[in-house]
Structure 1
Amino acid sequence: MNNSIDETMFNRLRSEIHRRFGIMLPITKKSLLASGLQRRMHSLGMIHLDEYNKVLFGNEENDEREFVLLLDAMTSYTTKFFRHSQQFEFLAQTALPELIKIHGAGISRTLNVWSAGCATGEDSYTIAMVLREFAQHYPGIQFKSQILATDISAPILEFARNAVYEMEKIQSIPDTLKKKYLLKSKDRRKSLAKVIPELRAMVNFRQLDFMVPAFGLREKMDIIFCRNILSYFDRDTQERLVNKLCANMIPGGYLFAGPSESLRSLATPLTPLAPSVYRLSHF
């Protein structure tokens, strides 16, 4: 298969992806979709697009899973540890002290954090490092926190749970934290590092589709990280999704979005505080 699809096929697939996941692919993403198709067909040992069409549209029981796998194949999981580091500085210096002061979060009760759209886990484990470091400000007191990390992709979640990263991927972690929270592979031929068990235990990975009517979370969240996710959705879906996130936050909770994702034009109960940082304004 060459790296192109005709307009009819593109429109059919993007319509179906929008219906299932709320993701609207502009015409500029045509080559991205074609690349995803190519990867999936290669994985399945297929040459002709007609064969793959039968997998996508020929079996109601299997096509849901295959569309998720296609989405995996075409989605860019470009992320790194401590990406947009100023947001983690805001988390440690402003958000956490405020949540302790107003709600006793982490002290009198557990602090609840949600890494929504966690991809391969870099954001989630970065949050865990920041929380562990912050807890050192309270010696003698057990700082209680838990992190929920969700993504639609089961294979990507499995990667995140394994928490094994190439050395190149961890270069953005400060050296002092690398020594504390990562273990280098004993096999010198492998340039790999694994997140320590204590940090992995802080994160609960779970599969979740943003398009379901209700997320089914047991706890209201103090903090939600949903970064570089909203840009995949059309404006109406963005607004619905952000309001669903807000419905799962405590009053005064914090939402961290991606730097290119302004929420100011959306009708939400959020107040902007800093670049791509918002607070739920219902007290």
Structure 2
Amino acid sequence: MGNVLTTTEPGSGADPGQWSGLGQLERDLVLTDEDFTQIRKLIYQRAGIVLAEHKREMVYSRLAKRLRHHGLIRFSDYLARLARQPEAREWEEFTNALTTNLTAFFREMHHFPLLAEHVRQASGPVRLWSAAASSGEEPYSLAMTLLESLGPKASDARVVATDIDTEALARARAGVYPIEQVRKLDEARVKRFFQKGKGRHEGFARIRPEVSSLVDFQSMNLLAPQWPVKGPFDAIFCRNVMIYFDKETQARILERFAPLLKPNGLLFAGHSENFSYISKVFRLRGQTVYTLASHR
């Protein structure tokens, strides 16, 4: 644990004057202002993520386990270690630790009926891209939508799923989720697309092969000069990731999305993202759904 509360349990007979507020945390690791500034700079350079000033506690708690793993007590020593080894795998651990993964199956439900209608009208094999795949819930939701919408033709479709977080991608490839998370879906989808775990896997559910076979996972940094994905795509899902980038980075990524979409392709954004004022490449079609401005 990165932070330890300094309070005493109620009813212990401790002197009330010795109680401290819940917001006061005792730290065993040293994070200076200079360290925090350097971390913000490095994660921006590495992943385009803009960390606000108020994210200091998050940075401390998420990177603390990396320091303890290496037997360090000062963040400055950890940063020096990274600087000495520019190609070390620890950079991957650093990035993974500071990447936020909040996702769910069929998150922002209103997107999926529109996607289903769009792919039914598509010509040729359908290709979709989940550009922030996280632990797999989104790309698997896309694959389920393809199976429901296209029937036997879905076998020719593909979902490309990319993310910068390699640990999240490992969980995505495994396709195993807590049963409580899966039960939030309607019963028909659970029965069709998941296998219930037994024995040591009790309490978990696994994505069925007919779903997972449609998804190709690969590691990718949206800031990389070259992307390993090739279009054209019928739709690109880039939801709830652009909020971590500054406007300049957002505009640059949107411009790179454009040539990877089919002329009538769709770009799906997160509920709190608005691309209309960032780039003229896309125009708003519906609720957080965009199409190429050149397409009418």
TM-score w.r.t. length of structure 1 = 0.88
Deviation at 1:50, TM superposition (A): 4.0
Cα distance change on mapping 1:22 and 1:146 into 2, 3 Å: same
Instruction: For structure 2, list consecutive stretches of 5 or more residues without a partner in the other structure.
Output: 3-26
SS across alignment from 2:184: coil
Q: Deviations over 1:116-154 (max 9, x none)?
A: 010000000001111100013xx7x66631000001122
Match of 2:51 in 1: 25
Find 2:116's aligned residue among 84, 89, 92. 92
The number of equivalent residue pairs is 269
Match of 1:197 in 2: 209
Q: Which stretch has the larger CA shift, 211-220 or 271-280?
A: 211-220
Match of 1:232 in 2: 244
Kept after mapping to 2: 8 A contact 1:252/1:281: no
- Runs of 4+ aligned residues of structure 1 deviating over 4 Å after TM superposition are none
Instruction: State the distance in 2 between where 1:73 and 1:10 align.
Output: 14
The residue identity in structure 1 corresponding to 2:173 is: R
SS across alignment from 1:85: coil
Q: Which stretch has the larger CA shift, 28-37 or 50-59?
A: 50-59
Match of 1:48 in 2: 74
Instruction: State the distance in 2 between where 1:171 and 1:45 align.
Output: 41
Q: Deviations over 1:64-108 (max 9, x none)?
A: x32331221232211110111111122123x2244x2xxx1xxxx
Deviation at 1:4, TM superposition (A): 7.1
Kept after mapping to 1: 8 A contact 2:128/2:159: yes
The residue identity in structure 2 corresponding to 1:32 is: M
Q: Which stretch has the larger CA shift, 141-150 or 73-82?
A: 141-150
Larger radius of gyration: 2
Match of 1:117 in 2: 132
Cα distance change on mapping 1:4 and 1:228 into 2, 3 Å: farther
The residue identity in structure 2 corresponding to 1:243 is: E
Instruction: State the distance in 1 between where 2:136 and 2:70 align.
Output: 27
- Is residue 251 from structure 1 mapped to residue 243 from structure 2 by the alignment? no
Kept after mapping to 1: 8 A contact 2:146/2:154: no
Find 1:71's aligned residue among 90, 95, 114. 95
Kept after mapping to 1: 8 A contact 2:232/2:260: yes
SS across alignment from 2:262: strand
Kept after mapping to 1: 8 A contact 2:242/2:250: yes
TM-score w.r.t. length of structure 2 = 0.85
Instruction: State the distance in 2 between where 1:268 and 1:97 align.
Output: 28
Instruction: State the distance in 2 between where 1:142 and 1:230 align.
Output: 29
Instruction: State the distance in 2 between where 1:268 and 1:208 align.
Output: 25
Kept after mapping to 2: 8 A contact 1:271/1:278: yes
Instruction: State the distance in 1 between where 2:71 and 2:286 align.
Output: 49
Provide the alpha-carbon RMSD of the alignment.
Answer: 2.0
Deviation at 1:45, TM superposition (A): 4.1
Cα distance change on mapping 1:4 and 1:240 into 2, 3 Å: farther
Instruction: State the distance in 1 between where 2:92 and 2:262 align.
Output: 31
Find 2:282's aligned residue among 270, 273, 280. 270
Instruction: State the distance in 2 between where 1:146 and 1:6 align.
Output: 47
Instruction: State the distance in 2 between where 1:5 and 1:271 align.
Output: 44
- Is residue 5 from structure 1 mapped to residue 25 from structure 2 by the alignment? no
Instruction: For structure 1, list consecutive stretches of 5 or more residues without a partner in the other structure.
Output: none
The residue identity in structure 2 corresponding to 1:194 is: R
Instruction: State the distance in 2 between where 1:142 and 1:35 align.
Output: 43
Deviation at 1:6, TM superposition (A): 2.3
SS across alignment from 2:274: coil
